[in-house]
Structure 1
Amino acid sequence: MIATAACSVTLSGCGLLFQNHEKRADAVLQPTPGNTARGTVTLIEQADGVQVSYNLTDMPPNSDHALTVHERGDCIAVNLDASPVFALSSDRRKAVSRLDGELGNIHADTTGAATGFIVATDVSLDGVRSLISRALMLHREPLDPYANAPHNVGPALDCGVIRR
């Protein structure tokens, strides 16, 4: 009886070791100079890609904006010299219509708020396609899905660094 209980306790500890731990990261977006947009973004890696959940406020009412990930995790010099949108160097050499870091567009409602999610299939939270320690920016203009690279989405309204 005691041996069975001891074995049961030992095996239940193994369950903790072999549980499926979710890969998760967050970014707190702060307004860039002269702007008011702010919010939080949570990234969770799933089988079909990274789910990017956002809760943003203080954007212009009834407006659309691009959500992009940039190469460097620098939000200080964002208005002076933002780093390029994240893409693998092999993808950057191709004439692709969308870069890995171009997550999609966000729509602000009549109060200037936006809540929702995007599934980014071309990125991850580890390895060569990792978004960790990169800058996440909400831009003034939306992405044009029909445009050829490079995409001009205007200056960043807010910025945050993606952290585990």
Structure 2
Amino acid sequence: MRAVTLVACTMAAVALAGCASQAGPHGAMMGKPMAVATLSPTQGNTATGLVMFHEVDGHVMARAHITGLKPNGEHGFHLHEKGDCASTDGTSAGGHFNPGGAPHGPQDAAHHAGDMPALKADADGVADLKFMLHGVTIGGGPADITNRAVVVHANPDDYKTQPTGNSGARIACGVVARHP
């Protein structure tokens, strides 16, 4: 079942990526670097989804669509340092992606390059989020997000506790892969 889900999610990512690479909300995006992460649940969890990243005007625009979350719940959402989701609990992804050595925090303050806005699920356990990341790239340099992991956590991020935000267990994980 998991293989079928992964194939379906990957096919959806490619289809969405193809559409997004043609044009998007910021105008033509042809030739702009793009990456996609297909999220799979960790053991005992149900969260799955897609996260697409596009370089736009020197920043990275991200779009996340995640299902299988706690209805009306909030979840920590981060880029982690290793593109490895092989462990059953997601810990193989390592800590938060933090090439600049910044403290953990919200987007409007000093924060890790991997700190992303919280996922807020609706009554059906679905989160749909679009946001900009500053200080990261796709496909080059020390702040490159490709071959890193996107992780969804069980609890909200408090944006205070160092270095993780006290957001709890990892409930979904996916590796960021550059899309041609």
1:86 is aligned to 97
SS in 1 for 2:173: strand
The answer on whether the counterparts of 1:78 and 1:156 sit within 8 Å (CA) in structure 2 is no
SS in 2 for 1:104: coil
SS in 1 for 2:117: strand
Once residues 48 and 124 of structure 1 are traced to their aligned partners in structure 2, the CA distance between those partners, rounded to angstroms, is 8
Q: 1:84 to 1:78 in 2, by over 3 A?
A: farther
- Superposed CA deviations along residues 98-126 of structure 1, whole A, max 9, x for unmatched, are 21101120100000001121211121112
- Residue in structure 2 matching 1:23, options 29, 33, 41: 33
Q: Which has the larger radius of gyration?
A: 1
Gaps of 5+ in 2: 1-28, 106-110
- Residue in structure 1 matching 2:67, options 53, 57, 65: 57
1:140 is aligned to 154
Once residues 129 and 53 of structure 2 are traced to their aligned partners in structure 1, the CA distance between those partners, rounded to angstroms, is 12
- Computed over aligned residues only, the root mean square deviation of the Cα atoms, in angstroms, reads 1.9
Percent identity, aligned pairs only, is: 30
Once residues 177 and 33 of structure 2 are traced to their aligned partners in structure 1, the CA distance between those partners, rounded to angstroms, is 11
Q: 1:108 to 1:132 in 2, by over 3 A?
A: same
SS in 2 for 1:102: coil
Shift of 1:67: 1.2
* Higher relative contact order, structure no. (Cα contacts within 8 Å, ≥ 6 residues apart): 1
Aligned residues: 142
Q: Which moved more, 1:96-105 or 1:61-70?
A: 96-105
- Residue in structure 2 matching 1:116, options 119, 129, 133: 129
- Residue in structure 1 matching 2:117, options 91, 97, 104: 104
Q: Which moved more, 1:46-55 or 1:26-35?
A: 46-55
2:80 is aligned to 70
Q: 1:80 to 1:109 in 2, by over 3 A?
A: closer
Gaps of 5+ in 1: 1-18
Once residues 148 and 33 of structure 1 are traced to their aligned partners in structure 2, the CA distance between those partners, rounded to angstroms, is 25
Q: 1:26 to 1:95 in 2, by over 3 A?
A: closer
Once residues 66 and 48 of structure 1 are traced to their aligned partners in structure 2, the CA distance between those partners, rounded to angstroms, is 25
SS in 2 for 1:28: strand
* Structure 1 length-normalised TM: 0.79
1:11 is aligned to none
Shift of 1:78: 5.7
